[in-house]
Amino acid sequence: MKKILIMVCMLAFFLSVPGEAAGGEEKVIYLEEYPLKEALEGYEPLPLHHIYPAGVYDITVVAADRILVDINCHMDTQPVQVKATLKIDDIPIKEKGFEMEPQESREVQFELEEMIDENCQISIRLDFEKPEQLPSDKEDMDFDGHTTTKDFIFEDLQEIRVLDEPVKIDGNLSEWEGRPFFYLGEDEDFKNGDPDTLERTLEQAHVYLGWDEEYLYLAVEAKVEEHFNSRRGDSIWDGDSIQFGIAPKKPGISDFNLCLALAGGEQVRTYQFGGPVSDLFDYSEYHVHRDDNEKKTFYEIKMPFEKLEVEPGEGAIFAFNIVIFEDADGEGYDYWLEMTPGIAGGTDPDAFNEFILVQ
């Protein structure tokens, strides 16, 4: 604040110093004539930082009918009574009262009677019961309560439709025909090469997603001239393969980073780079099939929701991303197709698209 006042005073001094105008005449420029004056008149000092007994760390929409709120207690030696009120578009929905221990972090879940189906603003109001006695270092703490808001953009969610019939995991994608898919093959989808000069031996890919009560399903049809991959272990991405990420919406849960390939002839190989469980492939069913006549490679996998840390059912929300690597000559990958950034070139789950399970 002191620095700002000094700068303003210096500016006022320089702007009011006589100077020579064109033709040798002296001209005095006053602050009142300078456009900055209007901005300075609207200046308001920064508000003082309030310290509350507890604060909202994050608001997470884990499903269209379920909201998780992370709350941290700022009291050092005393518990505090808290009332948390959930509002959507400023309309009170639910409230919960509870006691928080000193320095406690707590997840508070609000279950909604109706699913959110449009853009909205979600807010959490925290109110507190002030103790009769406070330590001297907490006497200035603000017990009046405060509100934290978050905009939820429903229209940005991508839909994953439920499967009408069971899908057999065999690399034959005929059961996926007629279902919606995500197309990768536009210029902006190709990475690590100039789209105008790149020899696209991998032309395009169709990415299918589906679900039932127990599993999340992924199927990929990659149109590629030849299939090369002789890698093992954590290097199987360095050839024709898919690498995909799944980021659960539960706070504190890490994202899955998985790779699936047909490598070493007709051998299906897998590798898991990360995730809340280290052996997801052991609980999953998967297959990769190459058809040289059609010049296509087919990938298929189903993964249990229980291990993915995603609660199955309509309205569930999580983030997903996928990359299809291409090796044109057997010497390692040349380029890739990607749904969004966040896998190749550095893991960043925040860059993934978010998806919602629908009927």
CATH of the domain at 182: 2.60.40.1190
Question: Under a CB-based contact definition with an 8 Å cutoff, are residues 245 and 255 in contact?
Answer: yes
Q: Does residue 194 sit in the same domain as residue 144? A: no
Q: What's the number of domains the chain is made of?
A: 3
Q: Is residue 243 part of a domain?
A: yes
pLDDT at 10: 46
The answer on 65 and 37 residing in a single domain is no
Question: Does residue 193 lie within any of the structural domains?
Answer: yes
φ, ψ (nearest 5 deg) of residue 123? -135, 150
Last residue of a domain, one of 126, 156, 186: 156
Q: What is the pLDDT of residue 303?
A: 98
- C-alpha span between 231 and 167 (Å, rounded): 29
User: Do both 102 and 243 map to the same domain?
Assistant: no
Q: Average pLDDT per run of 10 along the chain, which is 359 residues long? A: 44 44 47 50 56 94 96 94 97 97 96 97 96 84 93 97 93 94 94 70 96 97 96 95 95 90 88 93 97 96 96 95 95 94 92 97
The residue type of 43 is: Y
Do 64 and 36 share a structural domain? Answer: no
- Please give the residue range of the domain that contains residue 18: 2-41
Q: Give pTM, 2 decimals.
A: 0.81
Q: What pLDDT does residue 196 have?
A: 61
Q: How many CA atoms lie within 13 A of 286 on its CB side?
A: 24
The dihedrals phi and psi of 75, each to the nearest 5 degrees, come to -75, 145
pLDDT at res. 324: 97
Residue 85 and residue 62 in one domain: yes
Structure tokens at 90: 């400023």
CA distance 315 to 333: 37
Note the residue count of the chain. 359
pLDDT of residue 254: 87
Separation CA 143–CA 156 (nearest Å): 37
